[in-house]
């Protein structure tokens, strides 16, 4: 009882000092403190080999931590596995099914293992899950004839066999074409809208960055940072770039300074707009960009262009690690 109350009730996933040292001595996960709020879409990001999958295996009770603890939906793992895991849908390190069974038979097989699943609705739920991932037409085909994308979809269907409070999706877009990737993003958004928490891991930042409300970034077994995505990308001050007529550059700079923007400078580079234009840059700070444009227009400055350059997660990551996202492979 005490152990369950250690965990914050509003966290769907929590770990404290979670560590995994392999027998080889390699530390795959090092003192991880994850905090995934309920209802979040948590992007669990990091290069291949950074410890994401090992973390997920420990969360799900497949591997035992060397040190530290983990809670899913407020209950300690792996002790509460029987109670908690029926509410958790998972895709771990790629899909895996019996090759000679059909997609539908494979789902029935997993459903047969679930003590909380009603056998009477098994077929209906399997077909609904297949339909949801667009596999209805291939339901009776043996799994070994599935394409990589279809296999991935069947993995997602298995995670959706039952209503879930938490989905742990490890690299769900692996092997999918751009259209399939978009569908997965859409599915993740749909699940989150339905009230589920989604922990989605990826080594491709750009693929899931857009759907995440929260982000945790792993590198070499450690969690470099985590938090709300918007806050993370705003950590680095967004830059504003204003393009005006060349003759109005000074007036525009005056307006920007008047708004309290720091670091106002004239960009000396040659501009695509030609000699007639000038480009000013400034740190945007907390000022909303629309206020800047309104002020410029109000001051009679012809606004040729206005850009806000927010750093992407990738830039944040590169800055934190000093390495590219795919380098640590």
Binding site for other proteins (CB under 8 A): 1, 4, 9-10, 38, 57, 60-64, 73-75, 81-83, 85-88, 90, 92-101, 108-110, 112-116, 119, 158, 162
Instruction: Return the number of other C-beta atoms located less than 10 Å from residue 167's C-beta.
Output: 24
Q: Which is nearer to other proteins, 64 or 298 (CB)?
A: 64
Q: Which is nearer to other proteins, 95 or 172 (CB)?
A: 95
| Minimum CB distance to other proteins, residue 73 (Å) | 6
Question: Is 49 in a helix, a strand, or coil?
Answer: coil
Toward other proteins, which CB reaches closer, 75 or 213? 75
* Shortest Å distance, C-beta 207 to other proteins: 23
Select 36 or 282, whichever has its Cβ closest to other proteins.
36
DSSP state letter for 152: H
Q: For residue 50, give the 3-state DSSP assignment.
A: coil
Task: Quote the least distance from Cβ 135 to other proteins, whole Å.
Answer: 16
Q: Which is nearer to other proteins, 154 or 208 (CB)?
A: 154
Residue number, 24 or 179, with CB nearest to other proteins: 24
For residue 177, the cross-strand partners are none
φ and ψ of 190, to 5 deg: -60, -45
CA pseudo-torsion sign 22, 28, 31, 32 = negative
Sign of CA dihedral 250, 251, 253, 258: positive
Q: How far is the CB of 263 from other proteins (least distance, A)?
A: 46
The span from the CA of 133 to the CA of 200, in Å, is 17
- What DSSP line would sit under 244-281, residue for residue? EEGGGHHHHHHHHHHTT-EEEEEE-S--TT-TTEEEEE
């Amino acid at each position: 009882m005490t152990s369950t109350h250690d965990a914050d009730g509003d966290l769907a996933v929590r770990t404290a000092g979670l560590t995994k040292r392999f027998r080889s001595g390699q530390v795959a996960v090092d003192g991880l403190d994850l905090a995934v709020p309920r209802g979040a879409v948590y992007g669990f990001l990091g290069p291949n080999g950074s410890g994401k999958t090992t973390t997920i295996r420990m969360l799900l009770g497949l591997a035992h931590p060397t040190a530290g603890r983990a809670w899913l939906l407020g209950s300690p793992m792996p002790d509460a596995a029987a109670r908690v895991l029926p509410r958790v849908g998972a895709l771990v390190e790629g899909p895996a099914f019996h090759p000679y069974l059909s997609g539908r038979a494979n789902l029935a097989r997993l459903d047969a293992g679930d003590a909380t699943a009603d056998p009477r609705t098994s077929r209906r739920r399997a077909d609904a899950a297949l339909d949801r991932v667009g596999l209805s037409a291939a339901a009776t085909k043996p799994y070994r004839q599935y394409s990589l994308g279809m296999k991935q979809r069947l993995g997602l269907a298995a995670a959706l066999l039952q209503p879930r409070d938490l989905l742990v999706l490890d690299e769900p877009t692996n092997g999918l074409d751009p259209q399939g990737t978009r569908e997965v993003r859409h599915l993740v958004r749909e699940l989150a809208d339905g009230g589920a928490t989604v922990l989605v891991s990826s080594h491709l930042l750009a693929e899931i960055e857009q759907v995440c409300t929260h982000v945790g970034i792993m590198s070499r077994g450690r969690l470099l940072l985590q938090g709300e995505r918007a806050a993370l990308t705003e950590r680095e001050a967004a830059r504003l770039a204003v393009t005006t007529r060349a003759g109005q550059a000074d007036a525009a700079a005056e307006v920007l300074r008047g708004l309290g923007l720091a670091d106002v400078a004239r960009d000396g580079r040659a501009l695509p707009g030609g000699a007639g234009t000038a480009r000013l840059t400034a740190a945007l700070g907390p000022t909303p960009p629309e206020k800047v444009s309104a002020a410029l227009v109000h001051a009679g400055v012809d606004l040729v262009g206005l850009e806000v350059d927010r750093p992407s997660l990738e830039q944040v990551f590169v800055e934190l690690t000093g390495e590219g996202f795919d380098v640590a492979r």
